[in-house]
Amino acid sequence: MAARPQNDDATHDLMHLLLACSSLTAFLPALAERTHRRLAALGTHDCALVLRRRNRPAITGASSEALAAVVEERLSDDDQRLAAALERSQLTIEPRLPASWTSGMAWGVDAGLLVVPAPAGSSAAAALAVVGTDPVDDDARRTLLAAVGRVRNQASWALQLAVRLSDWNELAEHRAQAMQNRTVIDVAIGVIMAQSRCSAAEAFDVLRRASNNRNVKLHTVAAELVQRIHPALPETAFSE
């Protein structure tokens, strides 16, 4: 995992941001806006973040609606710069904004593009895209690149935490659903045992055969049976 930002203010800021957002979809635009503000002292720059988790569609967030639309469009077209960052952890610097990135953007001819990978953990990849005027002065350019490196590292740390939290939450939800399904199946088994005077194994086999014959999920068959007795399905009680 990326090292925690050395700046305590940055750490606190990112933690508050994580706590304020209930999902990755909400977190990415907020993090992109924060990145934009951190670079504001060095010129006018729009920032966008792209997060791609394993077996899930990419999530994007940007500091402006215009850049958000462009990034979504570039993703759908398999943009080589985003792909380089997301798939090969490669950085791209374009002193002049590519024509494919100018759609709907209010940038002048001096605008450039920087796309950098932002490690997001073992199950995800992320990229930071910065659009803005490329400094003419070498010292100013070095200062800007150093600042982008700092905010990229901060974003990477926060993204890894956010992805990990999201993975845990989704796992907990899946387990809770599995337990709920199991409760309904167990009640259905009890109903069959009472009606047929059979063992639990025999009752489960009845459910399984009905599921296979109808090509319907076992839980669905069990729920239908239970609802013949009472319309409300039993719920699993979870302690707080």
| CB-based contact 15:162 (threshold 8 Å) | no
Q: Is 97 exposed, middle or buried (0-12, 13-18, 19+ CB in 10 A)?
A: buried
Q: pLDDT 10s per residue in the chain (240 long)?
A: 555 565 667 888 888 888 888 899 999 999 999 999 998 888 778 899 999 998 888 999 999 998 999 999 999 999 999 999 999 999 999 888 888 888 656 666 678 899 999 999 888 999 999 998 877 788 888 898 899 999 999 999 999 999 998 888 888 888 877 888 888 888 989 999 999 899 999 999 999 999 999 998 998 998 999 888 888 887 776 555
Q: What's the Cα-to-Cα distance from 124 to each of 54, 80, 133, 188, rounded to whole Å?
A: 6, 18, 30, 40
Cα angle: 50, vertex 54, 55; to 5 degrees: 110
Contacts of residue 71, defined as CB under 8 A and 6 or more positions apart, other chains included, come to 48, 50, 60, 62, 82, 129
Please give the structure tokens belonging to residue 209: 């055969």
pTM: 0.74
Q: Which is nearest to 106 in space by CA: 46, 51, 164, 190?
A: 46
User: What domains, with CATH codes, occur in the chain?
Assistant: 8-170 (3.30.450.40), 173-229 (1.10.10.10)
